Amino acid sequence: MNIERSSLMQKFPKAIFGNLKSAAKQAADNGQTIIDLSLGSPDLPPDEKIRQTLAEEAAKASSYGYTLGGIDDFHEAVARYYKRRVNVELDATTEILQTMGSQEGLVHLPLAFCDAGDIVLTTDPGYVAYEAGINLAGAEAYYMPLNAEHDFLPDLQLIPEAIAERAKLLILNLPGNPVPAMPSLQFFNDVIAFAKKYNIIVVHDAAYSEFYFDGTAPMSFLQADGARDVGIEINSLSKSFSLAGARIAYIVGNADVIAILQELKSHLDYGTFEPIQRAAIVALDHAEDITARLRETFSVRHQLLSAGLTTLGWEVVPSKGGMFVYAKYPQHTLSDVDFAYELIEKTGVVVVPGSVFGTSGANYVRLALVQPEATIREALTRLATLQID
């Protein structure tokens, strides 16, 4: 029997993360000790209060039914969190939607608003799930380059009029993955004006909103006047509360957008396991305490890795937040993909090539802050010995 991929599946090439994992395994089999700085999966466990709640709720016989659109208590906890953290009032019944992790929400979102041939404005480089969702909907991506000259923010003035008129969605991610640029009120105001002019829905991915290192939290898109008129914000508990495997996130903002997404979601799943939702409520209600400890740890790692790479001659993109370091390596004779494999073979350090996230990522790599300080120091020691033939 001849099994063939659909034409749609041809647009979903095998992710490089699997290849990097295989290369790391081969290096380990050859005696190399691996230091994995590739995947952005937090190494810190969830707070004890969260784990205890999950265990207690999972022990209840009544916890195993469908939750469908999510329990009311979860939506109310999100509303409380937004009011406390960014002083944004949300209607828990109409302006909040639960998703099974932010990737699920992001990949499915274009299906609700794009027809074949419609344009989605997204960044280059940008998180790989954005392009997956665009392809799934049969839409076309228009890539907005991120570069140092514009503080690694997309320059909306460079978007041709004909492209803007065909665009249905504008996807932003601040602080971002892989580029940890920070938003400003002026930038969000410009985005809102642009979206209103061309009738474009704005999607702000705020997965790293609790990762900031100078005492000033990044803005929520919804803090800008008029943001709810044009868009939504998606946020995940995966990073901020170390719940990556639990798969729980939410979308907040424009009620009409939320209603359409809720309709789509009703055809895709039957909701998140209730004990996970109960644990998420505890996380959101104790966010100030939990995320302060997380920031302290990641801030030290960020400073250590950034300073160490700079000393070794790497060009580190300045950042005040996020959970990654994005940097240009000094061995410019190698492509970023070849460099990543050389790094695994010769040092055992695993990073992600920047070109995975878009053509603007060429000659850059992304390093995740997911190892203890001692391990990061060891990684820097190994990088210092790297010799490229």
358: domain CATH number is: 3.90.1150.10
* pLDDT tens-place string over residues 287-329: 999 999 999 999 999 999 999 999 999 999 999 999 999 999 9
Number of domains comprising the chain: 2
Q: Which of 46-55, 81-90, 143-152, 165-174 has the lowest mean pLDDT?
A: 143-152
**Which one-letter amino acid corresponds to residue 282?**
V
**Mean pLDDT of the region 58-86:** 97
Say if residues 251 and 96 touch (Cβ distance below 8 Å).
yes
* Residues 82, 178 share a domain: yes
* Residues 248, 266 share a domain: yes
* Residues 78, 221 share a domain: yes
* pLDDT tens-place string over residues 255-270: 999 999 999 999 999 9
Last-in-domain residue among 270, 288, 306: 288
* Residues 92, 38 share a domain: no
CATH number assigned to the domain comprising residue 240: 3.40.640.10
10 has a pLDDT exceeding 90: no
> What is the C-alpha to C-alpha distance for residues 329 and 162, in angstroms, rounded to an integer?
37
* Residues 264, 223 share a domain: yes
Helices of type H across the chain: 16-29, 48-58, 72-86, 102-113, 128-136, 161-166, 185-198, 227-230, 237-240, 255-265, 274-285, 287-311, 336-347, 373-384
* pLDDT tens-place string over residues 185-213: 999 999 999 999 999 999 999 999 999 99
pLDDT for 389 equals 67
Assign 17 a pLDDT band (cuts: 50, 70, 90). confident
57 has a pLDDT exceeding 90: yes
> What is the C-alpha to C-alpha distance for residues 52 and 49, in angstroms, rounded to an integer?
5
* Residues 253, 174 share a domain: yes
Q: How far is CA 39 from CA 131, 177, 178, 351, in A?
A: 18, 11, 11, 8
Domain that holds residue 307: 9-45+289-384
Assign 18 a pLDDT band (cuts: 50, 70, 90). confident
* pLDDT tens-place string over residues 201-246: 999 999 999 999 988 899 999 999 999 999 999 999 999 999 999 9
Say if residues 105 and 234 touch (Cβ distance below 8 Å).
yes
